[in-house]
Amino acid sequence: MDSLAQMAQSVADVLPPVSTPPSLQDIETVSLAQKGLKRAKLVSGWLAVFAMCVASGIMFWDHGKGGKFGFLVPLLGPGIYAYILGSDLGRRIFMRGQLFRNAVIIAAKALCFERPKRDYWRQLSWRDLELRVTALFGRLGYRAHTTPGSGDKGVDVIAESSHEKIVIQCKQYSKPAQRNLVSELLGVKIAEKATRAILICTGGFTHDAEEYAAQHGIELWDLDDLARAAER
């Protein structure tokens, strides 16, 4: 989760529900802030590396060590550290700007607008969650059905079309799902010869689980993803 999303979530926790969805201008503001934050980190990081290289080149030139190639010395180690420090400084400076602050408020209000939709999925029992997900994929044009409660081999819902087979695992958790659940679903995807695999968890996912899923092509859906899919 990036800095903007983290701050927006903190602000949203203390805001009342919002009845108005974000406008196109609001969405553009958040997008500009996200791009600006990335750009600020990148530019600041490389400026820090450049400054260290210049300083190193001057120092080695004065001492007759390394000559004109002395500027390359920081790239062997200190330059990486300089890039990290420079990126962090750029991030902090950008986050103090009005554009970023406005984007945080807009994103927080958007979260408050979506909150009732997320709460709908959060309050379901584990079995109702499976049934609602089955109905959702049926509405999206798939032939979807739930698997038997026992011996489901790690799959709760199977959705198929003429060119796709999706295996879906639903977890009604209050805490983030761990990497082992992603690994299990990957095995099921291979065994079932499915084209897609989706792990749904109402409690979100750990960073380790997200990285593993990205590496192995497993889709992760949280409450926000469910709410968005339901509006298609």
How far from the centroid of its chain's Cα atoms is residue 1's Cα? 5
Q: Are both 132 and 73 inside the same structural domain?
A: no
Q: How confident is the model at residue 8 (pLDDT cuts 50, 70, 90)?
A: confident
Q: Range of 30's domain? A: 3-119
Domain boundary pick from 119, 144, 175 = 119
Residues 82 and 149 reside in one and the same domain: no
Q: Can you tell me the mean pLDDT for 132-144?
A: 90
Q: Are 194 and 147 in contact (CB under 8 A)?
A: no
> Looking at the structure, do residues 135 and 105 belong to the same domain, yes or no?
no
**pLDDT mean over 90-103:** 87
Point out the domain boundary residue: 73, 97, 119: 119
Tell me, yes or no, whether 161 and 57 share the same domain. no
Tracing tokens 């995807």 back to the chain, one arrives at 189
Sign of CA dihedral 12, 102, 39, 49: negative
Angle between helices 24-62 and 78-95 in degrees, nearest 10: 140
Q: Which of 119, 139, 168 is the last residue of a domain?
A: 119
- pLDDT of 228 reads 82
**Total domains in the fold of the chain:** 2
Q: Do 84 and 169 share a domain, yes or no?
A: no
- 128 and 30 within one domain: no
Q: What is the distance between the alpha carbons of residues 223 and 206, in angstroms, rounded to a whole number?
A: 14
Q: What is the mean pLDDT of residues 27-32?
A: 85
Question: What whole-number distance in Å separates Cα of residue 231 and Cα of residue 89?
Answer: 40
Q: Tens digit of pLDDT for each residue in 53-69?
A: 666 665 655 555 444 54
The pLDDT value given to residue 33: 86
CA atoms lying within 13 Å on the CB side of residue 231: 9
Please tell me the pTM assigned to this model. Answer: 0.55
Return the pLDDT at 14.
60
Q: Are residue 88 and residue 20 in the same domain, yes or no?
A: yes
Q: Is the pLDDT of residue 45 over 90?
A: no
Residue of 66 and 43 predicted with greater confidence: 43
When pLDDT is cut at 50, 70 and 90, the band that residue 15 belongs to is low
- Residues 7 and 109 occupy one common structural domain: yes
pLDDT of residue 13: 63
Same domain, residue pair 158 and 218: yes
Q: Does 104 share its domain with 184?
A: no
Per-residue pLDDT at 25 exceeds 80: yes
Q: How many other CB atoms are found less than 10 A from the CB of residue 153?
A: 12
